[in-house]
Each structure stands twice: as structure tokens, then as C-alpha cells.
Amino acid sequence: MVDKMGVLADNTVLTNFALIRREEMLRDVFSGGIFTTEAVLKELYKGEKRGVLPRRNWSFLKILKIESEYEQRLFERLNRRLGEGESSCLSLAVHRGIYKILTDDLDTRRYAQRIGIPVSGTIGVLVDAIRKGIISKEKGNAFLSEMIKKGYYSPYRNLDELAVEE
């Protein structure tokens, strides 16, 4: 069983923080632990190998495997519509009672919300980092701007649109 305060991160969020070389912020924001799946880690390493992502130290991630028949069946069903990383995260969240999923993938977010799993994403991590005093709002806006320049499709151009309080 995963610590209820830990979060399960999909590739989309991990990639955005890797692109700006700030993946440690995830660890700082989520003190209960950052979990991911073997499929997500495989996607990260593939991006690094192809030179799409900078090589980063992912040793702080706690890696989960699909182990039960139930997890495998749900994974296979979801994988008809979603990628392996997204499908593995959702399957494990459902069967292990994981507190929250971090993803920017819209279909994954919708599915998680439909079945009652809380969801956050890149913007949510930045907002949490500001609220916890890990970074300033100015730094959060600078990180968001840098992510957007590197290809992140953000629903916001600026965190000021969210009225984030420091």
C-alpha cells in the first residue's frame, strides 16, 4: 500500500519539470513521496536517450509495478485508449488507493475525476510550491514561462491568472 499522502506522477508532469531541470521541486512539494510506474520511467528514459529530455536523476521516485491480475486487466482495458504510462498510473491508483495522480493528459484527468481520484498537474505543482513557500510567485511564473517555451501547452500564460497567494 502506498502512503496516502504520496502522489503518483505521470510522464507529462515529470517531463515539464525535467525540461527546466527542476524535478527536485516535485520531491519538495510532496513530502509523502513521489511514485511512478515502470512504464512512465521507461518513457522518461526513452526521452533522455533520444535527446528530447535532459538526463536527470530520478532516484527520488518510488517505482511501482503492476502486480495483480486486477491491476493488469484494468491496465489492458485502459491501454486501448490511453498510453502505457497513463494506463499504468490509473490502474495502480484504482487498485491501491493512491491519494492523487499528477498528469496533464486530459483524457487521464477526466477518467480519474470520473472515478473519484484527485488530479493535479504541472500548474498545480507550481501553485503548491508557491503556497508552501518553496518558490516565490515570480519564480513560479518564470518556471511556467520556461516550460511553455520548451513545448508545454499550458491553460494559463501566467500564474497571476489564478490569484495564487504566497
Helices H, strands E: what count in the chain?
Answer: 8, 5
DSSP assignment of 99-119:
SEEE---HHHHHHHHHTT--E
Q: Which pLDDT tens digit goes with each residue over 8-66?
A: 999 999 999 999 999 999 999 998 889 999 999 999 999 999 999 999 999 999 999 99
Q: Which pLDDT does position 25 carry in this prediction? A: 94
Starting at the earlier edge strand, list the strands of the sheet with 119-120: 62-64, 34-37, 7-9, 100-102, 119-120
Sole residue written with cell 522518461: 44
Q: Is a pLDDT exceeding 80 seen at residue 146?
A: yes
Tell me whether residue 142 is exposed, middle or buried, using C-beta atoms within 10 angstroms of its C-beta: 0 to 12, 13 to 18, 19 or more.
Answer: middle
What whole-number distance in Å separates Cα of residue 63 and Cα of residue 9?
A: 10
Query: Which domains occur in the chain, in start order?
Result: 7-122 (3.40.50.1010)
Q: Provide the pLDDT confidence category of residue 3 given band limits of 50, 70 and 90.
A: very low
